[in-house]
Structure 1
Amino acid sequence: MPLGTWFKAGTSAAALVLAMAGAATAAPAPAPAPAPAGESSAAQAAVVTLRYDDSRAGGWEAAIAAGVASWNANVSNVHLVEAAPGTVAEIVIVATTGWPQATLGPVRPGRQVRVELGSQAVDQGYDKTRIAAHEMGHSLGLPDTKPGPCSQLMSGSSAGTACTNATPNAAERSRVQSAYASGIAALVPADGRILIDAP
């Protein structure tokens, strides 16, 4: 509405200001973007992204990608992504000749842990994807649960060479979800122990 139609002879300045304020607030404010179904905007903000570097894990790339995909499909408070070349990764993955091992997390952004994917376990018949997912589980704060059944990802080598399960069970998912539930601010420091997954 043009200003001239509001301001008539004898209209006080205060009345003019009130009229303009009313016109300004008459338009509805844009609605915030909706959160995905079943997820609040606070939950979206709490997702912790961790980068991994597998540039020194030759021969394990497919197993690492499958292990990462398993974790990303099963937890929502933390997300694993491959580090871009030249950037610092929180999880450094290397191929070795010994038994698989990893630093016990939960790792947080800006801190670094190491995962060693040992060929000794593969030579004895253990599944590479299960090994990769298991060792990443350590980085996310899960200890070993040995001895244990194949349905427990963190039972590791105790489930035997026939076990190829690379999916965390409900208890394992819940523990990781809990560790990363409040984002970075409330994340406890990594345990720091080195866990070796030998029989």
Structure 2
Amino acid sequence: MLLRRIAAALCATALAAVGLQATSAAPATAAPRVLYYDASQAQEFRSVVDQGAQIWNSRVTNVRLVAVSAGQTPNIRVYADNGWPRTYTTSLGNGRWYMGREAVNDGYFQARIAAHEFGHILGLPDRRTGLCADLMSGSSAPVSCTNAYPNTREATTVNSNFASAAAVAPQVYAWAG
């Protein structure tokens, strides 16, 4: 490492002597971590799951949610059932979640449910603020709430979670109806 620095300094000095200026490229930014999700068992909610992933992809830069292709192992598996939506994480960015028909039948906005459950996989807990502006307020927000986008604090937290090697302990998140 020291030899590289000395060589770079000598090269810059030589270039300066003939009237040229050495420049370096901007520091490389880390590529986002890619998390693959499998929505093949999400039944009638498959397109809503894709929409939830795209919502997060539009708001964060340090992680990307991508539908799994043949031959890949998913980090996230999504299912549909008749219960309440819920998530089981195994570690940050890994786990499974359920698109529960009970919340859908009660009138909760499907894209909000999908984005909310992905939020748990991305390391966010339920906040129960009752505010529609808070994606992670979940079912504490009114049924009429159609905001499916994370607020700035939620997106910043997810970006921070994936900017480092932070670990999130396994959790179970379930909607309380």
Is 1:96 the counterpart of 2:81 in the alignment? Answer: yes
- Which runs of at least 4 in structure 1 moved beyond 6 Å after TM superposition? none
Q: Is the 8 A contact 1:67 1:136 kept in 2?
A: yes
Where does 1:163-178 land on structure 2 (aligned, <5 Å)?
Answer: 163-178=145-160
Q: Is the 8 A contact 2:130 2:142 kept in 1?
A: no
Amino acid at match of 1:82: A
Partner SS, residue 114 of structure 1: strand
Any gaps of 5 or more consecutive residues in structure 1?
A: 1-24
Query: Which structure carries more strand by proportion?
Result: 2
Where does 1:173-184 land on structure 2 (aligned, <5 Å)?
Answer: 173-182=155-164
Is 1:65 the counterpart of 2:67 in the alignment? Answer: no
Any gaps of 5 or more consecutive residues in structure 2?
A: 1-13
Offset of residue 106 of structure 1 = 5.5
Partner SS, residue 134 of structure 1: helix
Offset of residue 136 of structure 1 = 0.2
Rate the CA distance shift 1:113–1:95 in 2: closer, same or farther, 3 A: same
| Residue from 118, 122, 125 that aligns with 2:104 | 122
Q: Is the 8 A contact 1:141 1:176 kept in 2?
A: yes
**Structure possessing the higher radius of gyration over alpha carbons:** 1
Where does 1:17-166 land on structure 2 (aligned, <5 Å)?
Answer: 40-41=27-28, 43-45=29-31, 47-104=32-89, 107-108=92-93, 112-166=94-148
Is 1:195 the counterpart of 2:173 in the alignment? Answer: yes
Amino acid at match of 1:197: W
Greater shift in the superposed pair: 130-139 or 56-65: 56-65
TM-score normalised according to structure 1 size:
0.73
Quote the sequence identity (%): 39
Distance, in Å, in 2 between the alignment partners of 1:124 and 1:154 is 18
Partner SS, residue 60 of structure 1: helix
Distance, in Å, in 2 between the alignment partners of 1:105 and 1:75 is 21
TM-score normalised according to structure 2 size:
0.82
CA RMSD of aligned residues (A): 2.3
Q: How many residues align?
A: 160
